[in-house]
Amino acid sequence: MSTATPGYAAIYDPDRDFDSRYTRATGARVAERVAPGDRVLELGCATGLMSVPVAAAGGRVTGIDHAGSYLERARARDLPGARFVRAALEEPGWEDLAGDGFAHVLACNLLHEMTDPVGLLRRARDVLAPGGLVHVSLQNPLSIHRLVAVEMGLIADVAEVSENGHRYATRGVHHARELMDMAWRAGLATVAREGVMLKPLPNAMMEGLPDEVLDGFERAARHLPDHCAMTYLVLRAR
């Protein structure tokens, strides 16, 4: 993900940061619902990391982002049927890409940086083809690592914004129910609510774990969806 935060691309590499684990895992969930030939709009596509599994599933991806350096890297992936366009999410204009509408609109890991998240979801709904889906993901304040941090006295509340969060322009941390309410106010109903990856430790400690353990945390997410690292919602116009 990427938003219109000035200088964001200069301080954050979405391919190298540990968060790339969550990006790939979420992309795999989205891809499960994409049929060959589906038109997919990815808002805040950054370097196109999430576009990879979606394109592999046959989706025809249109990715938009404000950062030219990110878009260059996305285009360099040479994904079949994909195109990447420079645009700012909170400014008008990207809706013109809709044509007959998109089968899927991805708003993954970005609502927490929007000044008007409900407005963005409403715009996403408006560019859907009939029967299309909006996919939303966001950090989960009830993630295991946040619950542990509260018990250890490291944070006062699960919704507290971390130092890194402030650095990356996070405006707030939202519970799944809050996200579902935002979606409802934007004219969207929840089709599915899931969790992406268990995160018992902060990223810096997770990075030191073997890949097979991290893969296990990803697969085990289905057992504790309320306490995963990310909330994942699938939405449909109502």
167-215 pLDDT per residue, tens? 555 567 899 999 999 999 999 999 999 999 999 999 999 999 999 999 9
> What residues does 40 pair with on adjacent strands?
61, 104
pTM beyond 0.85: the answer is yes
**Among positive and negative, which fits the CA dihedral 9, 10, 12, 16?**
positive
Mean pLDDT of 142-159: 93
**What domains are there in the chain, each with its CATH number?**
8-237 (3.40.50.150)
pLDDT at 123 over 50: yes
103-122 pLDDT per residue, tens? 999 999 999 889 999 999 99
Nearest 10 degrees: CA dihedral of 118, 122, 128, 133? 30
Q: Which of 150, 149, 146, 139 is nearest to 178 (CA)?
A: 139
Note the pLDDT of residue 167.
Answer: 55
pLDDT at 2 over 50: no
